[in-house]
Amino acid sequence: MPQSTLQGKVAVIGGGEKNLGGLLSRTFAQDGAKVVVHYHTSDDEAKRTVKDVQDAGGQAVSVQGDLTRVADVRRLFDAAKDAFGGVDVAVNTTGMVLRKPILEISEEEYDRMFGINAKAGFFFIQEAGRNLNDHGKIISLGTSLLAAFTDGYSTYAGGKAPLEHFTRAAAKEFADRYISVNTVAPGPMDTPFFYPQESPERAEFHASQAMGNQLTHIEDIVPVIRFLATEGWWFTGQTMFPNGGYTTR
């Protein structure tokens, strides 16, 4: 069986400076990839992630950008090619969450939520499709709410929902270049992204719904993304809902 690895590959990680994206950047670099760490506002976290990669003997650069601006998405991929000569893997972990009843959502909130979750998601896939080498991998981060029947998350789940369709279309359209395109949709994950929208009681409830009575950890999701980024192309056009993991806390 041929062994696929990240050795010598170039990976662009949208939101690659912290939390899930930060661990992905470090892990991909350990696997031998050259990493382009995109960040939005967290300059210090981006510097720390790049330094950690370099201290471990890897190669990384950071690129700032507001990915709701198409020009910034294009600049990110241009910077990756300038730094490392091409791109093989593109993972978009950017997103924004809001838990609010439909009746209270403003036009500005709607535009902001769809700007980063849907529009940036689309143009990240488009630019990856333009720039990736053959046999490349594109992975977007969705949410398990895509499969939920619940209140409060209309603009978050709604904003992420188009990713599934963008993913399927791109999987077909880029298939002749053996580029696989997938969405990974984790459940509630123990990062600072999750807590501001939830009460302690609801956080406890979410944990109670999972094996081991715990929220998902970023260490549980990274192996799924790593698998999609390295192993063949038999998963394409799919949304994967990881509902387990290997960490117990």
Ligand X SMILES: NC(=O)c1ccc[n+]([C@@H]2O[C@H](COP(=O)([O-])OP(=O)(O)OC[C@H]3O[C@@H](n4cnc5c(N)ncnc54)[C@H](OP(=O)(O)O)[C@@H]3O)[C@@H](O)[C@H]2O)c1
Strand order in the sheet with 238-240: 60-64, 34-39, 10-14, 87-92, 132-141, 180-184, 238-240
Size of the site for ligand X (CB under 6 A): 24
Using the rule CB under 6 A, give the single segment among 100-108, 169-177, 186-194, 236-244 that binds ligand X.
186-194
Cα–Cα distance measured from residue 205 to residue 186, given in angstroms and rounded to the nearest whole number: 16
By CB under 6 A, which span of 35-43, 54-62, 75-83, 127-135 interacts with ligand X?
35-43
When asked if residue 141 is in the footprint of ligand X (CB under 6 A), the reply is: yes
Q: Are strands 180-184 and 10-14 parallel, antiparallel or unpaired?
A: unpaired
* Residues that are catalytic: 156
Pick 94 or 182: Cβ nearer ligand X: 94
Could you say which residues in the range 98-117 bind ligand X, by CB under 6 A?
116
Cα–Cα dist 26/20, whole Å: 10
In this complex, which beta carbon is closest to ligand X, that of residue 111 or of residue 134?
111
Q: Which residue stretch of 63-71, 124-132, 175-183, 232-240 sits at the interface with ligand X (rule: CB under 6 A)?
A: 63-71
Our finding on whether 41 is near ligand X (CB under 6 A) is yes
Nearest to residue 187, comparing CAs of 107, 97, 109? 97
> Cα 94 to the chain's mean position, in Å?
6
Q: Report the distance separating Cα 215 and Cα 190, nearest Å.
A: 6
Site string for ligand X, 77-96 (x = CB under 6 A): ----------------xxxx
Q: CB within 8 A of 160, min separation 6: which ones?
A: 95, 117, 118, 121, 142, 143, 145, 146, 185
What's the closest the beta carbon of residue 234 comes to ligand X, in angstroms? 24
Give least dist CB 117 to ligand X, A.
7
In the complex with ligand X, the residue whose CB is nearer, 75 or 135, is 75
Report if residue 49 touches ligand X, rule: CB under 6 A.
no
Q: Which of 25, 62, 131, 143 binds ligand X (CB under 6 A)?
A: 143
Residue (178 or 219) nearer to ligand X, CB: 219
User: What's the one-letter identity of residue 132?
Assistant: L
Residue 208 burial (C-beta neighbours within 10 Å; 0-12, 13-18, 19+)? exposed
Structure tokens at 144: 């398990």
Residues that bind ligand X (CB under 6 A): 15, 18-21, 40-42, 66-68, 93-96, 116, 141, 143, 186, 188-189, 191, 193-194
